[in-house]
Amino acid sequence: MIKDILSPLSCAGCRLCCSFDKYEIWQTPTISRELKERIQRSFPHIGFTENGSSGSYLFDMRDTWDEERELFLCPALDPRKGCILGDDKPFECRIWPYKAMDLNGTLVISIDPICREMYEKPLSVLVGELEKITEGDKTLEEYIYGEAEKTPALVKPCEKGFPILKVR
Ligand code: SF4
């Protein structure tokens, strides 16, 4: 979605957004029931776990611990090809490293500091990307707010170190 400012080549050599240490498990993508069912039909080896009482799901990563890297790997990550989900990537992966977050009850758009390539870009570039048309006639910002308001489980609590780019 943001290929203009984040090259697929950089992503291919990184994949940090698809692996999680034990403190980052809260950042794993939220998945709707419909998306879970679609993924299960194509990739029956991928497991899911209920996301509290929200009616949504998370990937089951209990068996994906990588001893060498000391990280949990997303079960949809192919070490050579990258994400295997194509158009069925969860919302949070589609907009990553942007994030829809809750800051004391206010919906904000932030950026994940783990993506150094994006994090080091000027603020004007990061905000400018959010204001470009991306989905139909919507800007990326409008798309993020629309999805986040439709499905509140997609919104993660805002943590220290996540800069705020936009406030709803
Ligand atoms: S679903 Fe795909 S893009 Fe999202 S964390 Fe898993 S491998 Fe990465």
Domain-embedded: residue 154: yes
67 and 29 in a single domain? The answer is: yes
> Is residue 89 within 6 Å of ligand 1 at its C-beta?
yes
Average pLDDT score over the chain = 91
Rounded Cα distance, 163 and 38, in Å: 34
pLDDT, one tens digit per residue, over 105-134 is 999 999 999 998 898 899 999 999 999 988
> Is residue 83 within 6 Å of ligand 1 at its C-beta?
yes
As for how many domains the chain has, the answer is 2
Q: Which of 58, 89, 120 is the last residue of a domain?
A: 89
82 and 114 in a single domain? The answer is: no
Residue 2 confidence (pLDDT): 75
- Which token pair is 161? 């170190």
- Give nearest CA residue, ligand 1 atom 2: 83
Residue 140 belongs to what domain range? 93-167
Q: Which of 41, 56, 89 is the last residue of a domain?
A: 89
24 and 61 in a single domain? The answer is: yes
> Is residue 39 within 6 Å of ligand 1 at its C-beta?
no
CA–centroid distance, residue 59 to ligand 1 (Å): 10
Would the pTM of this model clear 0.85, i.e. be above it? yes
61 and 22 in a single domain? The answer is: yes
Q: Which of 52, 74, 89 is the last residue of a domain?
A: 89
> Is residue 74 within 6 Å of ligand 1 at its C-beta?
yes
**Which residues of 11-124 form beta strands (DSSP E)?**
19-20, 48-50, 57-59, 65-66, 71-73, 77-78, 82-83, 98-103, 106-111
Residue 87 confidence (pLDDT): 92
Residue 13 reports pLDDT greater than 90: no
**First CA to last CA across the chain, in angstroms?**
21
User: What is the 3-state composition of the chain as percent helix, strand, coil, each rounded to the nearest 5?
Assistant: 35, 25, 45
pLDDT, one tens digit per residue, over 26-68 is 889 999 999 999 999 999 999 999 998 888 999 999 888 988 8
> Is residue 155 within 6 Å of ligand 1 at its C-beta?
no
Domain-embedded: residue 2: no
DSSP string, 98-116: EEEEEETTEEEEEE-TT-H
98 and 85 in a single domain? The answer is: no
